[in-house]
Amino acid sequence: MDMSLLSGLGLDLDFLGRLLSIILIDLILAGDNAVIIAMAVRSLPREKRRMGIIFGSGAAVLLRVLITFFVSQMLQISFLKLIGGALILWIAVKLFIHGLPEETGEKKATTLAQAIKIIVVADITMSLDNMLAVGGASGGSVFLLLFGLGLSIPLIVLTSNLLSTLMDKYPVIIYIGAGVLGKVGAEMMITDPAVVGIISFSKYAQYSIELVSAVLVIVVGKLWIKYMINKEKV
């Protein structure tokens, strides 16, 4: 990769094509990250939500810049995506439970530091494919690479801020968000090199597994909430 910041900055068709590709990649892939950030800050007081979103997203993107330079090699490491997918599923269930305090009768207190920690861990885990896509679309241009990663910040901040507000008014979005994270976690696990080396899933099978995973996240979360309620009654 050419480490010159202005490498490939000539305004030719190739540059403009890569620039457009990076913008589209960020627009398409920002949604999953926005969902988990919105769920992570929902338990924060309203006045601290924006701070949590900005700090969490900023820290995550800074780490993305460092990781992107060797992410293509990382994605080839067996079990990395498998472990990352399992981590996302665990985070999805945890955020689902904390996102429905009305059902437990208790609003879990979440600190700003806890929210930022969840955002950074989940964002980096979920963004491996995103970083690879942006890195590939940059064509070796550090300017385009940094532009793509930088563009993801306002997109994610604006989207996650809107989602966190809507979750207060429409709790059904929490179910949808948990399902989305369940789908992402399953996708990461079944596309891990170690898994692909053993079995190759058809598109139909992959979509079915992702759907089951999305439902399971919600079911496990509901069962865990029920368990906590019964435990408190004893």
Per-domain residue ranges of the chain: 13-226
What percentage of the chain carries pLDDT values higher than 70? 76
d(CA 41, CA 38): 6
Per-residue pLDDT, averaged over 214-229, amounts to 90
- The encoded tokens of residue 1 equal 């990769």
Q: What pLDDT band is residue 107 in, cutting at 50, 70 and 90?
A: very low
- The encoded tokens of residue 56 equal 């969490």
Q: What pLDDT band is residue 208 in, cutting at 50, 70 and 90?
A: very high
Average pLDDT, the chain: 77
Predicted confidence at residue 84, as pLDDT, reads: 80
**Residue whose C-alpha is closest to residue 72's, from 129, 122, 7, 2:** 129
Across 62-77, b (16+ Cβ under 10 Å) vs e yields ebbeebbeebeeebee
Q: What pLDDT band is residue 28 in, cutting at 50, 70 and 90?
A: low
Predicted confidence at residue 103, as pLDDT, reads: 52
Q: Is 208 left (phi over 0), alpha (psi -120 to 50) or beta?
A: alpha
